[in-house]
Structure 1
Amino acid sequence: MAETSLPLRHFGDIRYALLQRQEIALVDVREEASYADGHPLFAVNIPLSKLEIEILNRIPRLSTPVTLYDNGEGLAQVAARRLIALGYGNVALLAGGLQGWREAGGELFIDVNSPSKAFGELVESRAHTPSLAAEEVNALLQSGEPVVVLDSRRFDEYQTMSIPGGISVPGAELVLRAKDLAPSPETKIIVNCAGRTRSIIGTQSLVNAGVRNPVYALRNGTIGWTLAGLALEHQQSRRYGEVSETAQLQAARSAREVADRAGVKRIKLADLAALQQQTQRTVYLFDVRDAEEYAAGHLPKARHVPGGQLVQETDHYASVRGATIVLIDDKKARAEMSASWLAQMGWDVAVVDDASRESFTARGDWKPAVPPLSELPEVEPTELAAWLEAGDTQVLDFTTSANYAAGHIPGAAWLQRSLLTLQGDAALPKAERYVVTCGSSLLARYAVEELTALTGKPVTVLKGGNAAWRAAGLPVEQGETRLLQRRDDRYRRPYEGTDNSAAAMQAYLEWEYGLIAQLDRDGTHGFNVLTLHA
């Protein structure tokens, strides 16, 4: 499909919508590694290869103005056709793609979650968030003075590497849990993440909420700790415990005051029901409690996103800039503090005021909305093993490259669905029959029709996916044994894992330091940082 056969939106159209706070979804359909090489500030990454399993949750209103782009690969046109087939009625291409944005004078940001990271730098600059260098924190820990280190990342990130003695307290939990973890106001509180953003936001949350303890961000997080030549711990499991009633009430009161100052709205459950029924505005409903609380009971249609991650990865969950975000938390403080940050980031945000455990009638994990598929042929794992033994079947694995390398069906080839768009059947190993799989086979199902048309061969879904194969006790192999393309489905973050080079970590920090200047050049952010004396 030629670009001219679809409506175009220009750089000026997008910029105007952002400045006017109109709803806009600017979607980069390339893989994450390419997206991280450069994209507009408020562009969100929804790769063509995962479009069907993400789009209805990230852009839930079908009349939202959606603008798609790539960098000349031809992926955006295919994505547009798929969105139109799903019922999206206001789909356009970005004129000139990424190059057109650049030529029009648009600023490009690298890495992922750029709006949140740039906002964090702005917060530190304007609020003068207190921080200590790694060497100073290490000296404190060795001194015997009362000090606690609170790690504001996800628990799995904390387990990978942590500051010695650190306790896992993901960002939105900090104000709620700090009093119990540091009951004496003399105890110094150090907040860390892997880099800068969540350390800054977590520390400033405690400052804004009026915590009496001295509070400091660990400057540059575990990156700064590593660059200082200090040793990290690994596979730790220290976590916060139950919150006391006194701490909960005090945190809720303090957090509400902060949210009020930030301009957070308050609604009742009846107001939420009315918001969900209207069709003129995109509304996201997020439950910001921890995973165990959510699974035990939550409001129907509420998506679980811990508050700290929502502030850090807002673009991933609320992919329509200008939409309304509604937060729920029966203990109040987590929703109030998360909402206060989202409001400062330019979002229209509200907290449900009368949410309680009695309202939480749904159980279990959140289930994403996906487009319906007609019934597809399936094969049980044991039968597939027999097919593979016969030698006429090729397994195509559409899982993440990391999962594939960690363990896959012997002989399976790894690819992303976008490869089929770019190269067609020329990219595929020849076989008389293909079996598609991924972790659960959900994503793989959406490749069946395209593969059948490309190859003219029978295409079958592995029932239950790779998880069912393992559960059946069948063998797996590890490593990059049969990659049909480069591993560009995930950008390698310099602040994750334990094997990053010092040069990569330092370069990442230098990039973060420069984000405020980029915000100034871009001019569309709409951020408004709350200061204590504002």
Structure 2
Amino acid sequence: MSNLTTRRYVDIRRALLAREELALIDLREEDPFAQAHPLFAANVALSKLEIEIFARVPRRDTAITVYDDGEGLAAIGAQRLLALGYRDVAVLEGGLAGWRAAGGELFRDVNVPSKAFGELVESVRHTPSLSAEQVKALLDEQADVVVLDARRFDEYQTMGIPGGVSVPGAELVLRVAELAPDPATQVIVNCAGRTRSIIGAQSLINAGIANPVAALRNGTIGWTLAGQALAHGQARQFSAVSDSTRSAAAHKARAVAARAGVQRITRHGLAEWQADTARTTYLFDVRTPEEYSAGHLPGSRSTPGGQLVQETDHFASVRGARLVLVDDDGVRANMSASWLAQMGWQVAVVDALVATDFVEQGDWQPPLPEVPAVTEISVEQLATWLREDGTVVLDFTTSANYVKRHLPGAHWAIRAQLPAALERLPHAERYVLTCGSSLLARFAAHDLQALTPTPVYVLEGGTARWIDAGLPLEHGERRLAVPRSDRYRRPYEGTDNPREAMQGYLEWEFGLVAQLARDGTHGFAVA
């Protein structure tokens, strides 16, 4: 690492306070990242660096600082970034331990800037909330109340408040008038924990809707801790709104954005921003993924607004960059932008768009570097090999996907931990690598072949192709070559979390405002 540049904690702190562009990249897997990291660190695991980095840090001369916690990832990651064309890459002096020793604040969990901001909003705006017991009593009494779930639809389906309607956060101001047309109806916004319910409820209040509004205090965690049953598999969703509803909501949303300092630009102004090589400009389409797929502005990324506010560090990993938001109704972009502006981002909404601007169709595809050349085999060839001895299959999908289903006999591994994985694998005459599509497997194959003289192959089309061929599958955790550190187990996810973990998570959230004050770099300004 002697030939690599290092960057100190004080340098990064100075740049954050000056609102200069920087990317502080934690190269560990998500679980160790979630145990301790700086406030504005973005988790881009070394295992997936090439697949994620171009979208998350689009400008090649961005000041990037990478770090680990002594695992030896930083030097490798820095060299890979330089090879990918990034020109201002440094290693954090002393790694995570150096940050701590220099007096830097460390935070737990994921998407911490957004969650800490949510707690600050509640403390400043005194966002109204109702306890689980109060909401349950209203529902039992069949009171005039509507419960709006501000999470993604899949989260809502997994577990939710009985009778709740799925209305992801950015949709609330646009949809509420038709979900609660009587201004006397009590509107309750919930999520799994606290952030999205606070931001959702405060969005409705900021927009000036006539209904009484409250967040469900502590979300589904609070509901569960109160001993109340959650519903599973619900499917209530919002429907299309009328032109008059859309127009009224757009007027409210634009006023909210103006109060927060959101900028207005045209397509010409957007082009000027994008041509500015000295600044990073992200272009986000905050409508639903279905709307995006049907037609979107060329070059935009699908990032539904509620999740963009909730997971800003994941989508915009360059702190100090410019964010440009797009919709086709004047509501969702303005409401999302209002929060991002308060979170310290320079953010603009594109005005005067017309239907013909949304000409590109299909799902968003991440920009990728050149994919390594590999030797591929068909599913038919692998099926033949698996009837003999000597073939070891390695699966590099997420551990959750692996547990759900994988090829017979496949071992699960993390790309950045291949040396450790090899020690736990049986003797192989050949290795066959896969993942969902085999994209990550292609990068892993290059790494593995450098470690072993044993031939390495990649399954053409990945596990998806195997499934399409109707071939047998297994499930479960039977062959983990390394521990499952690729994903942090969120205490507010799923249906089987220990009560102690849920209570501990709430107590951690309650302490975030004090942590923000100790850190001092957040730049948040609640309007």
CA distance in 1, matches of 2:87, 2:133: 56
How far did 1:429 drift?
3.4
Give matches, 1:228-239, under 5 Å. 228-239=226-237
Deviations 1:500-519 (A, max 9, x none): 01111000000000000000
- Corresponding position of 1:472: 469
Q: Percent identity?
A: 64
Q: Secondary structure at the match of 1:485?
A: coil
The answer as to whether partners of 2:373 and 2:442 remain within 8 angstroms in 1 is: no
Q: Which residue of 2 aligns with 1:458?
A: 455
Q: In the alignment, is residue 52 of structure 1 matched against residue 50 of structure 2?
A: yes
CA contact (8 A) 2:186 2:211 kept: yes
TM-score w.r.t. length of structure 1: 0.97
For the residue of structure 2 that corresponds to 1:446, the secondary structure is helix
Tell me if structure 2 keeps the 8 A contact 1:172–1:306: yes
Query: Aligned with 2:349: secondary structure?
Result: strand
| Aligned residue among 40, 43, 51 for 2:41 | 43
Deviations, residues 268-299 of structure 1 (Å, cap 9, x unaligned): 01111222222111110000001111110001
1:407 partnered with 2:405 = yes
Deviation at 1:120, TM superposition (A): 0.3
Deviations 1:187-211 (A, max 9, x none): 0100000000000000000000001
Residue 200 (structure 1) aligned with residue 201 (structure 2): no
Which residues in structure 2 correspond to 1:95-494 (within 5 Å)? 95-420=93-418, 423=420, 425-494=422-491
Instruction: Answer whether contact 1:424 1:454 (CA < 8 A) is retained.
Output: no
- The aligned amino acid for 1:385 is A
Deviation per residue, 1:156-202 (Å, 9 max, x gap): 00000010110000000000000010001010100000000000000
In structure 1, what residue type is equivalent to 2:203? S
Pick aligned residue for 2:26 from 22, 28, 31: 28
Where does residue 519 of structure 2 map in the other structure? 522
C-alpha RMSD of the superposition: 1.0
For residues 240 and 137 of structure 1, what CA distance do their matches in structure 2 show? 21
Aligned with 1:5: secondary structure? coil
- Secondary structure, aligned partner of 1:372: coil
Query: Aligned partners of 2:421, 2:158: CA distance in 1, in Å?
Result: 39
TM-superposed CA distance for 1:132, in Å, is 0.4
Report the alpha carbon displacement of residue 461 of structure 1 after superposing the two structures with TM. 1.2
Quickly say closer, same or farther: Cα 1:429–1:345, change in 2 above 3 A: same
Equivalent residue of 2:193, what SS? coil
1:245 Cα deviation after fit: 1.0
How far apart are the structure 1 equivalents of 2:483 and 2:448?
20
Q: Distance in 1 between matches of 2:370 and 2:360?
A: 22
Runs of 4 or more above 4 Å deviation: none
**Alignment partner of 1:26: what SS?**
strand
Counterpart-to-counterpart distance in 2, 1:45 and 1:480: 25
Partner Cα separation in structure 1 for residue 263 and residue 47 of structure 2: 37
Superposed CA deviations along residues 316-351 of structure 1, whole A, max 9, x for unmatched, are 000000000000001110000000000000000000
Unaligned 5+ runs, structure 2: none
Whether the 8 Å contact between 1:190 and 1:218 is mirrored in structure 2 is yes
- Partners in 1 of 2:381 and 2:187 — Cα distance? 57
Higher mean alpha-carbon deviation, 141-150 vs 346-355, is at: 141-150
C-alpha distance in structure 1 between counterparts of 2:306 and 2:164, whole Å: 17
Structure 1 CA distance, aligned partners of 2:373 and 2:498?
48
Supply the distance in 2 between the matched residues of 1:85 and 1:374 (Cα, whole angstroms).
Answer: 13
* Aligned counterpart, 2:64: 66
Asked if 2 retains the 8 angstrom alpha-carbon contact of 1:425 and 1:455, the reply is: no
Deviation of the 1:425 alpha carbon: 4.4
State the Cα deviation string for residues 99-145 of structure 1 (Å, max 9, x = none). 00000000000000010000000000000100000111111112232
Q: CA offsets, 1:14-72, max 9 Å, x none?
A: 00000000001001000000000000000010000111110011001010000000001
Deviation at 1:374, TM superposition (A): 4.5
Distance 2:81 2:120 in 1: 36
The answer to whether the 8 Å contact 1:419/1:427 transfers is no
Structure 2 Cα separation of the partners of residues 129 and 517 of structure 1: 18
Which sections of structure 1, spanning at least 5 residues, go unmatched?
A: none
Distance 2:356 2:136 in 1: 45
- Report the secondary structure of 2:387's partner residue: helix
Deviations 1:422-463 (CA, angstroms, capped at 9, x unpaired):
548445432111111000101111112221121112211111
In the alignment, the residues of structure 1 paired with residue 274 and residue 525 of structure 2 have an alpha-carbon distance, to the nearest angstrom, of 28
Amino acid at match of 1:226: T
TM-score (norm 2): 0.99
CA distance in 2, matches of 1:426, 1:132: 53
The question of whether the paired residues in 1 share the 8 Å contact of 2:390 and 2:427 is answered with no
Q: Secondary structure at the match of 2:451?
A: helix
Return the alpha-carbon distance in structure 2 between the equivalents of residues 312 and 429 of structure 1.
Answer: 43
Question: Is this contact kept in 2: 1:289–1:329, CA < 8 A?
Answer: yes
1:498 is aligned, of 495, 499, 506, to 495
State the alpha-carbon separation in 2 of the partners of residues 211 and 205 from structure 1. 9
Structure 1 letter corresponding to 2:398: T
CA distance in 2, matches of 1:179, 1:429: 61
